[in-house]
A and B are shown apart, each in its own frame.
Chain A
Amino acid sequence: METVPGREPFLTRWIYLWRIRLEVWLHSAGAFLAELYRRPLALLGGIVFVVYILVAIFAPHLTPHDPTRGNLRMRLLPPAWETGGSLAHPLGTDEQGRDLFTRIIFGARISLAVGIIAVGISVAIGTTLGALAGYYGGLLDDLISRFADLLMAFPALIFAIGVMTFLGPGFANLILALTFKSWVEFFRLVRGEVMAEKTKEYVDAAKVLGQSSGAIIVSEILPNIIQSVFVLGTLRMCDMIITEASLSFLGLGIQPPTPAWGSMVASGRNYLLTAWWVSTLPGLAILFLVLSINLFGEGLRDILDPRLRIE
């Protein structure tokens, strides 16, 4: 495309840039998938994660049972492979006669929703504040950093418990409790990286070309940082899911009868001797989900940032 810079219409230039960006993106996506293929464990993690998401989305279509109402005559039935079990209830039933398989896949909705939303908000807030603080520095940076330090003085679960206690249980409060402290990590990460990138030459080049500060941050600096944010995000999602489960276990998170894996494990405690599956299986669901996200995140880190490779 023969053009004189600055002379051609804005739209043409804009389309041109985005065509290049798309090609580059497709190429790197292909390379990414190839790298992922070389790491079977990470690939497995990614696949399992996707399976969980699909199961959570299509949960009502995957089972005929109602997750919240049970048949007391069918309580504490064992899973299909034990004596007395049947394929009607492949994973058995809980103490209220509700099908365990159904409750588990509905519970996935809660856990995944909490994990994704909480991480999403943390990333959004943390990245924005971190970019602003890192780029502009000064008083803004000081204030936010001090506040962040203060929040870091609380252990994560304690903080969440504190918030949940005083604001009461419920989905929204849960998200608030989880995000209120975890954005700090993303804030620090982005802030550090922005401050390091700020001094590099391409930023000066962009300034000379007359780009506004906002545009510089978004289009130039952030793409270089997005990878570490992504990696941290996947790891933190695991923490969120476990924290949510822990809070539900204590009875502080999602309230019954909505199925949440943590509260399922809690209610099964009384029947450990006679019906071990009520507590064990939901916990396995948590384990597999978190494990697969961890494996995928580790693979992601390996691919995206060779510096961090454990070689």
Chain B
Amino acid sequence: MRAVKIIERILATIPIMLGVAIVVFLFMRLTPGDPVDIMMGQGGVVSVGEMERLRAEFHLDKPLPVQLAIFLGNALRGNLGYSYIQKRPVISLITERLPATIELAFGALFFALIIGIPIGIVSAVRQNSVLDRLSMAGAFLGISMPAFWLGIILILFFSVRLRWLPVQGRIGFGTGLQEITGFYVLDSLITGNWVALISSLKHLILPSVSLGAAVAAVVARVLRSSMLEVLHQDYITLARAKGQVEFLVVMKHALRNALIPTVTVVGLQTGVLLGGNMIVETVFGWPGLGRLVVEAIFNRDFPLVQGAVMVYAFTYVMVNLIVDILYTYLNPKITL
């Protein structure tokens, strides 16, 4: 039964992915200006004869639906276009920078959960206490701060004034890290390179905090409110009546129920993570996909932007799919 539901959900994402690809395709077509110019970006100046040839190469002489079909076909085969600015296929540019972004996203998510979940629990259990009020105040602050500003403030404080943490980049010089997976933290663990491990972690902290603060705030608030609701339920009283220790009443009986709506919210918040990483990467000079996209925008490297937007959207759809599936495991009421 559950397997069927999972397959249903996976199949449901296909039309969405298709739609995403179509929308992205239309983005390009809506750009004002000569299409050949757009495709080439500022990669070169061409003569009129060249333009005709390129027009054919880009299939611009064919009707729009055919162009769409070609585009989709290419995308399915992993061909996301060619960047004339960087003189490389888009897909290779993206895959090169992807691990850095994923590492940052995980760092931010880790921070958000490590901070958000305990705060949410404690605030709910000790409702209206000083800790609760402070946490909620902090949460308000967290959702009101733009990530780029937080990043700058953190740099000002920890890098400039206190000199504890580095300002830019992913890893320091001279660590001699062998790249196996592309994830520096993982690679340094695998190769036993402790200098590299420490360096990469130090570089990861501030960007993760900047990116994850808003998500942490949301997680704390949502978990708190759903815990409050759960803690007033009758089954919590029964758990106590069984003689259960208060700690387990909260952590086992209450939390398990309260996490259900929280997980959905976290899934939606990954959208924030995906968008925000462009900004944070720019602030911290993090060599990831986000910064690549920002540079591409300024270079008018449209194929690259198009490819990246598709990758981002697909990732978001995938994450939400995983969250949906996770939800069916957490909430027994919907396995039927």
Q: Which A residues fall within an 8 A CB radius of B?
A: 149-150, 153-158, 161-163, 165-168, 238, 242, 245-246, 249-252, 262, 265-266, 269, 272-273, 276, 279-280, 283, 286-287, 290-291, 294-295, 298, 310-311
Could you say which of A168, A251, A266, A287 has the most chain B C-beta atoms within 10 Å of its C-beta? A287
User: Across the interface, which residues of A come within 8 angstroms of B297, CB to CB?
Assistant: 161, 165, 250, 252
A162 touches B27 (CB 8 A): yes
Contacting A168 at CB < 8 Å: which of B32, B224, B225? B32
Query: How far does the alpha carbon of A167 sit from the alpha carbon of B270 in the complex, in Å?
Result: 26
Known: A166-B31, A167-B32, A272-B156. A291 touches B141 (CB 8 A): yes
Closest Cβ neighbor of A245 among chain B residues: B146
A290 touches B28 (CB 8 A): no
Flag whether B186 is at the interface (Cβ < 8 A).
no
Number of interface residues of B (CB under 8 A): 49
Main secondary structure of the interface of B (DSSP, over half): helix
Main secondary structure of the interface of A (DSSP, over half): helix
Pick the 4 closest A-B CB pairs, nearest first: A157-B275, A283-B149, A155-B271, A150-B19
Contacting A246 at CB < 8 Å: which of B17, B146, B271? B146
B144 touches A290 (CB 8 A): yes
Report the minimum CB–CB distance from B123 to chain A (whole Å): 10
Contacting B274 at CB < 8 Å: which of A158, A246, A251, A272? A158
Contacting A158 at CB < 8 Å: which of B16, B148, B225, B309? B309
Report the minimum CB–CB distance from A87 to chain B (whole Å): 25
User: Across the interface, which residues of A come within 8 angstroms of B312, CB to CB?
Assistant: 154-155, 158
Known: A154-B316, A166-B302, A168-B32. A280 touches B156 (CB 8 A): yes
A157 touches B278 (CB 8 A): yes
Q: Which B residues fall within an 8 A CB radius of A?
A: 16-17, 19-20, 23-24, 27-28, 30-32, 140-141, 143-149, 152-153, 155-156, 160, 224-225, 228, 270-272, 274-276, 278-279, 282-283, 293-294, 297-298, 302, 305, 309, 312-313, 316-317
Query: How far does the alpha carbon of A242 sit from the alpha carbon of B146 in the complex, in Å?
Result: 6
Closest Cβ neighbor of B140 among chain A residues: A294
B316 touches A153 (CB 8 A): yes
Contacting B317 at CB < 8 Å: which of A153, A273, A286, A294? A153
User: Across the interface, which residues of B come within 8 angstroms of A246, CB to CB?
Assistant: 146-148, 276, 279
B275 touches A156 (CB 8 A): yes
User: Across the interface, which residues of B come within 8 angstroms of A266, CB to CB?
Assistant: 148
A156 touches B148 (CB 8 A): no
Provide 25 A-B residue pairs closer than 8 Å at the C-beta atoms, listed in order of the A residue. A150-B20, A154-B20, A154-B23, A154-B313, A155-B271, A155-B316, A156-B275, A157-B275, A157-B279, A158-B275, A162-B309, A238-B144, A246-B276, A249-B279, A249-B282, A250-B278, A250-B279, A280-B152, A283-B146, A283-B148, A283-B149, A287-B149, A290-B144, A290-B146, A310-B224
